[in-house]
């Protein structure tokens, strides 16, 4: 994907800044380990796609926005994998950070990456104060309390879960951050872009439910059929496989319809369509109708 050529160097520069000076060597290595090699970099890709659709008048600011989102996403993965949460030994095909570096350094890696994401935006704010400050505000809102990804995780410690608030915060918040920050980085009103992010987030949730139901552990790279085993509410148990696929298609049509008028509207629709194809699972023969 050509956008990776914008995202990767900015991420690398942020990590290198965190490793400079008299940094403790292991924690410095852990920062890089947590972020590279990356996954699909889907959130920064969405962020940059929106910025480009909005004219991309400040590419350095858009790159900073994309990088900040990815760094804080990686931070959340490092903390989520720790024994007190998911206790996951493997992430992206290699030992999780606490398995490779120990729990103290995993905790500090997450903390450092959170802080780094705001530092990246502070440097962008030195280029364009109004946009940079807006980006810092949106990133905080999308990641902290009361409605960001920390809040989403926090719901998992409650006896009674507000499912709407839970999904909006846990999965949705970083997707709406991606579209809003892409727009804000290009000087557009971020709020008009909330619905696109929310719908892409929902689509990811349904696609995830489908993959969990349809694929085996080898294909997924993680244990399969977890929703069924843990009796978790999910789109497939609610709607069946075909119904969930129709729901995914509906959400993505809604996402495309929600795109605000902007110079690069056509290209952005195309990007969302491509993501939709990537998301929609191949249905094995026994589920085909």
Q: What residue has token string 């530092």?
A: 119
Task: Give the contacts of 195 (CB within 8 A, at least 6 positions apart).
Answer: 255, 258
Taking a C-beta distance cutoff of 8 angstroms, is the pair 156, 137 a contact? no
Taking a C-beta distance cutoff of 8 angstroms, is the pair 205, 235 a contact? yes
Beta carbon nearer to a copy of itself, 136 or 213: 136
Cβ burial, residue 40 (10 Å; 0-12/13-18/19+): exposed
Taking a C-beta distance cutoff of 8 angstroms, is the pair 260, 193 a contact? yes
The CB-of-171 to a copy of itself minimum distance in angstroms stands at 15
How far is residue 134's CA from residue 190's CA, in Å, rounded to a whole number? 9
The CB-of-289 to a copy of itself minimum distance in angstroms stands at 38
Give the count of residues interacting with a copy of itself (CB under 8 A): 62
Out of 25, 37, 231, 285, point to the residue binding a copy of itself (CB under 8 A).
Answer: 25
Beta carbon nearer to a copy of itself, 104 or 243: 104
The CB-of-116 to a copy of itself minimum distance in angstroms stands at 6
Span 71-100, contacts to a copy of itself by CB under 8 A: 75, 79, 82, 84-85
Out of 20, 218, 231, 261, point to the residue binding a copy of itself (CB under 8 A).
Answer: 20
Beta carbon nearer to a copy of itself, 167 or 247: 167
Span 95-154, contacts to a copy of itself by CB under 8 A: 101-105, 107-108, 110-112, 114-116, 118-119, 121-123, 125-126, 129-130, 132-133, 136-137, 140-141, 143-148, 150-151, 153-154
Span 147-176, contacts to a copy of itself by CB under 8 A: 147-148, 150-151, 153-158, 162, 165
Taking a C-beta distance cutoff of 8 angstroms, is the pair 200, 179 a contact? yes
For 126, list phi and psi in degrees, rounded to 5: -70, -25
The CB-of-24 to a copy of itself minimum distance in angstroms stands at 4
The CB-of-101 to a copy of itself minimum distance in angstroms stands at 8
b (16+ CB within 10 A) / e for 217-228: eeeeeeebeebe
19-26, long-range: CB < 8 A, 24+ apart: 26/101, 26/105
Q: Give the residues lining the site for a copy of itself (CB under 8 A).
A: 17-28, 31, 75, 79, 82, 84-85, 101-105, 107-108, 110-112, 114-116, 118-119, 121-123, 125-126, 129-130, 132-133, 136-137, 140-141, 143-148, 150-151, 153-158, 162, 165
């Amino acid at each position: 994907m050509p956008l990776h050529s914008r995202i990767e160097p900015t991420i690398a520069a942020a990590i290198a800044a965190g490793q400079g000076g008299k940094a403790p060597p292991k924690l410095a290595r852990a920062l890089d380990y947590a972020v590279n090699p990356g996954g699909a970099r889907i959130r920064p890709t969405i962020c940059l796609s929106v910025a480009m659709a909005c004219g991309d008048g400040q590419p350095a600011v858009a790159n900073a926005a994309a990088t900040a989102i990815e760094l804080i996403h990686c931070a959340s993965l490092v903390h989520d994998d720790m024994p007190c949460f998911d206790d996951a030994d493997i992430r992206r095909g290699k030992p999780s950070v606490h398995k490779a570096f120990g729990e103290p350094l995993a905790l500090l890696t997450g903390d450092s990456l959170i802080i780094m994401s705001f530092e990246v935006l502070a440097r962008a704010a030195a280029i364009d104060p109004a946009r940079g400050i807006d980006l810092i505000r949106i990133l905080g809102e999308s990641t902290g309390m009361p409605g960001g990804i920390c809040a989403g995780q926090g719901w998992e410690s409650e006896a009674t879960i507000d499912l709407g608030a839970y999904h909006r915060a846990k999965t949705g918040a970083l997707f709406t951050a991606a579209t809003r920050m892409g727009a804000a980085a290009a000087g557009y009103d971020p709020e008009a872009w909330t619905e696109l992010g929310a719908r892409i987030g929902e689509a990811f949730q349904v696609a995830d439910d489908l993959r969990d139901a349809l694929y085996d552990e080898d294909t997924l790279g993680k244990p399969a059929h977890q929703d069924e085993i843990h009796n978790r509410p999910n789109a497939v148990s609610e709607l069946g496989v075909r119904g969930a696929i129709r729901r995914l298609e509906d959400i993505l049509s809604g996402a495309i319809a929600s795109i605000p008028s902007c110079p690069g509207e056509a290209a952005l629709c195309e990007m969302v369509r491509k993501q939709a194809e990537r998301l929609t699972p191949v249905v094995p023969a026994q589920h085909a109708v």
